[in-house]
Chains A and B, each alone.
Chain A
Amino acid sequence: MKRRNFLLQAGLFSSSLITSIGSNAWVARSATQDVQQKRLIVVLLRGAVDGLSVVVPYAEPAYYQARPQISLPEPGKTGGVLDLDGRFGLHPVLAPLMPLWQKKTLAFVHASGSPDQTRSHFDAQQYMENGTPGNKGTQDGWMNRLLGIISQKNPIQAVTVGESTPWILSGKMAIANLAPGRNINRPLPIDRPQVATAFDKLYSNYDPLSQTYHEGRMARQALMKDLDSETKMANNGAPLPDGFPQDAQNLGRLMVKDPKIQLGFMAIGGWDTHVNQGNSQGQLARNLGKLGDGLAALIKAIEPIYQDTAIVVMSEFGRTFKQNNDGGTDHGHGNVMWVLGGKVHGGKVHGDWPGLSNNQLYQGRDLAITTDFREVISDVLQHHLKIDSTKLNQVLPNYHPSQKIDLLT
């Protein structure tokens, strides 16, 4: 009774006794040190970025009519977009990415997104992360299922920036977390040999808790070792502002350093511009600038492996075609996806353009979707990570790619 009494007084109201649950020992097996390893980085823009301000349909008069205050001027004008192909222009704050466009390693897929009609951020992000639009029952994320298929049983094969596990990476496969910010290699007590040795003995069973503990220790050791040698050489050059650019650079450098890291994930928020969105300057421009700087820093960092890397940038849905009464835009439907990488068929805006007249808009108000976001993911998985169609079906259940876009070979 004494023990139960304690447990009550510890403020949790239950009773405990250790039960050992038999389970396979986790075996640490080093991945083949294959520098040619294909990598995938996914960047999720949480909060629905206004894709029509990222890749701007400046050749369409309807665009300027619908957005008197928040449209971006044509190329050549003050604050004007950077021309991409005579039809579309890039937001001017994304100028650091133009060299990639010219080198044809940056592509866009316009009018893309999730076919589900929801305009709820929560639901739409969940669908984009679980990979089954319209089905909330899918509990794991598509990147975790992907990890299950390509697993080399190393604890840092998938890395997310931040301490929570995003839906897209949650599931039965273990993933590693990279702390955000500049002090990523700040030591923890568990890094001290004496502390670690003591806890190692405490967690030496084959139960799930011990197994998880050891995964955590190995992932941390691997990352700290990489970071240690990394920071020694990396501290020359101007420091980046905290936030996305810094985190993106950290992730990039780690991936170059350690070929075991195959999948990377980052999220950046602040896109829900219902009020005072701005145009070439303002709220959206500031956030896009940060994103562009971060992607440029990431690509600079991964230069040695850029040929073997694909980066996908996506957001849960687009925003309304017309500006609202508050100089902003509301939750919409179709958006633009970005794909970057050394082997990407870049310098091109992919996807069918649905048009912007009233009868072409989705429900008369939003950019329509002509490319399912899973089409883009499928293309990357099949042609970059070489996932066959049976396995693809495990990552994206019940989705049959139409192969109508050609982003990679």
Chain B
Amino acid sequence: MGVESYIKEQLSPESIPEPESLTSQLSQLSTLEMNPVQLVEYVATYPPRQKPTQEQKQVYRQRAKQIVTEAITARLLRATTSPRQLQEVMVDFWYNHFNVYAAKGRDAIWVGNYEAQAIRPHALGHFRELLGATAHHPAMLFYLDNSQNRVVNGKAAGLNENYARELMELHTLGVDGGYSQQDVIALARIFSGWSIQGRGQQLDNHDSGFVFNSRFHDSGDKVFLGHTIKSSGVAEGEAALDILARSSVTAHHISYQIAQYFVSDRPPEALVKQLTSRYLATDGDIREVLKSLFHSPEFWDQQNFNNKFKTPYQYAISVVRATGVEVKNTLPIAGFIRQLAMPIYGCLTPDGYKNTKDTWLNPDAMTRRLSFATTVANGNLPLSQPRIRIDAEQLMNTLGNFLSPKTQTVITNNPPRIRSALILGSPEFMYY
């Protein structure tokens, strides 16, 4: 397959069938299909508004742990074996963009569903839909405290600005996006009452976990980024998301981040400009922005080769993918990534994990990467049964000739049984 048709195919992930080996493994993860409301009922085995007993608390903890473990397993199975590679790359990108931390209280039970419902379906879709899906999901409502954002009888004492601020600073406009503290307050008022469905609270239309509590909503008119937003309940939030998603400042911010993720820690401004105009021309169509990126001269420019140092996540995934091992056990991969301080769903702060070299290149990390490469190459990481020692020649056939002459010389001068480790641990393989 040529590069062109490969890109085209990857931009339409739904056209790529997932192999049975992957779908059957995913189907064994029983909590994966549960919606946010079912997930709550699964862990909370006691009636609403009742204090749990010690045993019920223990069940809660065990099941919450099971849910997170299954979510991590699903993420890693897809990342290492799904043929929809671009989609999975974009899941990594967007999850960090709209980060939610699993160890914050109830978010343990929701992060997997958040990724499955809010992130993955929209990873190559329209930015506005992705933004809306994250704004409504209980994982985000809880993580950035909007579920506590309440205005009662016109009193702003319960106003919580956390989500409103991060929505502009991180998700859309960017920190220097030209908004003021007044805009933060206006946006917090707009989102007051956006909350999480309570246990036992029946909603006739859905089980998404989202609820709009009109009695906690500030019903006054608002002025947000110069736009007057008339009092209209939940529609105000949608109007604000429209404004943010269509803003040229957001277009630039998103384009910068995409270019930074794919091309260079300091992406060329011409490329960012090109992506920004593509974003604005297509009403924020992520697929079109990526298509523009993959056909840009900057993406293929020799100057930008070797610019991106893999994150621990990217490194681990690329090592495992390169070996072609059919992964049955993802725990050792999760463990390695965690040890290198990038645990999946474990970024505490809302800005998500960075993808720049400054963050991830450090002395101890190098020795651990090379040790990981050696363990995988020797078949000593229990990814599947039977364990397979990776053949260097086969590895080179899969990877093609991507090594510098110097690296090749070092590899050929070493005995065959260590060559695979050297390939996977080569300087060239640290970058993408």
Contacts and interface: CB of A to CB of B under 8 A. Distances in A.
A6 B402 contact: yes
B276 interface: no
B403 to A, nearest CB: 9
Interface stretch (B34-42, B192-200, B414-422): B414-422
Contacts of B370: 189-190, 195, 199, 213
B410 A188 contact: no
Nearest to B430: A209
A175 B362 contact: yes
Interface stretch (A88-96, A214-222, A287-295): A214-222
Interface residues on B, range: 35 or more
Contacts of B305: 15-17, 19
Interface in A152-178: 155, 162-165, 174-177
A174 B366 CA distance: 12
Interface string B334-357: 000001110000001110000000
B348 A122 contact: yes
B318 A10 contact: yes
A206 interface: no
B89 interface: yes
Given A10-B322, A195-B421, A202-B407, A163 B374 contact: no
Given A16-B306, A16-B431, A209-B427, A176 B364 contact: yes
B306 A17 contact: yes
Contacts of A205: 406, 427
B6 A198 contact: no
B306 A18 contact: yes
B287 interface: no
Nearest to A215: B363
A232 interface: no
Determine the main DSSP class of B at the interface with A: helix
Contacts of A6: 398-400, 402
Given A174-B362, A198-B414, A14 B427 contact: no
B421 A209 contact: no
Contacts of B400: 2-3, 5-6
Which of B88, B306, B364 is packed against the most chain A CB atoms within 10 Å? B364
A1 interface: yes
Nearest to A221: B367
B422 A198 contact: yes
A4 interface: yes
B329 interface: no
B223 interface: no
A18 B366 CA distance: 17
A209 B367 CA distance: 11
B247 interface: no
Contacts of A16: 305-306, 308, 402, 428, 431-432
A136 to B, nearest CB: 9
Contact of A190 (B79, B341, B367): B367
A9 interface: yes
B361 A12 contact: no
B299 interface: yes
Contacts of A17: 302, 305-306
Given A10-B399, A122-B348, A212-B362, A195 B427 contact: no
Interface of A: 1-19, 122, 155, 162-165, 174-177, 188-190, 194-195, 198-199, 201-203, 205, 207-210, 212-213, 215-217, 219-220
Nearest 10 Cβ contacts at the A-B interface:
A164-B341, A216-B363, A17-B305, A189-B374, A215-B363, A12-B432, A188-B371, A6-B400, A177-B364, A11-B85
